[in-house]
Amino acid sequence: MERYSTPADRPLAVPVWEGQAAFYRADLEFHGVGHRGDSYEGRVFFDAPDATPTTPRELDAGYAGSFYVFGHGPCFGDEGHCEVPPGPIHPFDYRTVHHLAPQSMVVTVTDAVRRTIADGKSEFGVTVVPTNVLDAEVGDILHFERLSLVTYD
Partner 1 sequence: MVTPLRSPILTTPRVRHRKSIEKLRPDQLKALRDGFGAIKTLRDTNGFWFWAELHGAPKNKCEHSPENGYDNLFLPWHRAYLYRLELALQTKVSAATLPWWDWPASRDSGGVPAAYEDIAGEVNPLASADFPPLIAELTAKEGMPTSTWREPGDARRLPTKAEVDAILELKDFDDFSRTLEVQLHNRVHGWVRGSMGIVAIAAYDPLFWAHHTMVDRLWALWQVLHSSRGPRPGIWKRILRGGLDLTVGDVLDTHALGYDYAASTAHREVDS
Interface residues with partner 1 (CB under 8 A)?
31-32, 35, 38-41, 66-74, 76-77, 96-97, 99, 101-106, 108, 132-134
- The residue type at 93: D
Give 103's strand partners: 33
Cβ closest to partner 1, residue 62 vs residue 130 = 130
Smallest gap from Cβ 39 to partner 1, in A, equals 4
Shortest Cβ distance from residue 66 to partner 1 (Å)? 8
Nearer to partner 1 (CB atom), residue 14 or residue 64: 64
Query: From the CB of 72, what's the least distance to partner 1, in Å?
Result: 4
Under 8 Å CB-to-CB from 102, ≥6 apart: which residues?
Answer: 31, 32, 33, 34, 35, 84, 144, 145
Cβ distance to partner 1 smaller for residue 52 or 66: 66
Q: φ and ψ at 67, to 5 degrees?
A: -120, 155
CA distance 101 to 2: 21
